Chains A and B, each alone.
Chain A
Amino acid sequence: AQSVTQLGSHVSVSEGALVLLRCNYSSSVPPYLFWYVQYPNQGLQLLLKYTSAATLVKGINGFEAEFKKSETSFHLTKPSAHMSDAAEYFCAVSGGYSSASKIIFGSGTRLSIRP
C-alpha cells in the first residue's frame, strides 16, 4: 500500500526566493514518485517523476526534487520563484508495476508568489 503526505496546504514566497514544497511518502514496494502542477481551471500536468534512476530529478520550469529513501521524502525545490509559478502542486506515489499498485495523490500545496 502507498500513501503520501504533503506538509503545508499553502506556501507563500517572495518572487526570486527559494521554493520548497514538502512531500513524504509511504510504500511497501520501491516507489514511483511524481510531482504534478495544476494551474487555475486546468488539469494537472507533470513536473517531474522519479523511477529509481538518479535520486535527483530535474523537471520542467526549473523545478527539481530529490528522492531520499532514508527520510522517505521527495521534496520539490526551485532556486528562484517566478510569478508564473503560482499554482497548486501535487505529490503522488505509486507502486509501479506491482499488481497491487495504485496511484495516490497528496492533498496538494497551494503556492503563492509575493511581488
Chain B
Amino acid sequence: DAGVIQSPRHEVTEMGQEVTLRCKPISGHDYLFWYRQTMMRGLELLIYFNNNVPIDDSGMPEDRFSAKMPNASFSTLKIQPSEPRDSAVYFCASSLSSGGFTDTQYFGPGTRLTVL
C-alpha cells in the first residue's frame, strides 16, 4: 500500500488567496483526520471523519477553514482567505474502523503551507 498521500507537499501563497490541501487515505480505513503542526501550538486535531461524515470539527480554528470528504478515497482541507498565521504543516491521517482514537493512525508526509 502506498500509505496516506497528501498533495501538494509544499504550498506558498499570498495572504487572501484560497488554499486547498488534498489527502488520499489508506484504502479500507474508515477514519480520516486533519491535523495542524506549529512550533507554538504543537500538533492539533482540526477535524475528523468517520465513513466520510464529519464527526467533530471543534478544532477548526475559524470559519475560514473547511473540510470535505466526498468519498472514501479523498478529502480536502480548504482555507479561504488564507492569512500568514495559517502557516504550518498540515497532516492527514487515517485509521481502521476499530475506533478512531484507539487504533493506530497512519500519517501522511504533510503539506508545508507558507502564507506570505
Most buried by B among A44, A49, A108: A44
In the complex, the answer to whether B56 meets A102 with C-beta atoms within 8 Å is yes
Q: How far is the CB of B5 from chain A (nearest CB, A)?
A: 11
Contact A32 B107 (CB under 8 A): no
A2 to B99: give the CA distance in the assembly, Å: 17
**Other-chain residue from A41, A49, A102 in contact with B45 (beta carbon distance below 8 A):** A102
Q: Is the CB of B102 within 8 A of A96?
A: yes
**Count of A-B contacts judged by CB separation below 8 Å:** 47
Interface mask (A19-42 → B, CB under 8 Å = 1, otherwise 0):
000000000000010001000011
Q: Is the CB of B99 within 8 A of A97?
A: yes
Q: For chain B, give the interface size range.
A: 10 to 19
**Is A94 an interface position by the 8 A CB rule?**
yes
Within the complex, which residue of A43, A96, A101, A102 is in contact with B91, where a contact is CB–CB below 8 Å? A43
Closest CB in chain A relative to B45 CB, distance in Å:
6
In the complex, are the beta carbons of A95 and B43 less than 8 A apart?
no
Q: Which residues of chain A have a CB within 8 Å of any CB of chain B?
A: 32, 36, 41-46, 49, 51, 90, 94-97, 101-103, 105-108
Known contacts A42-B109, A42-B110, A49-B104, then 6 further A-B pairs from the complex at CB < 8 Å, ordered by chain A residue: A43-B108, A44-B107, A46-B105, A90-B43, A96-B102, A107-B42
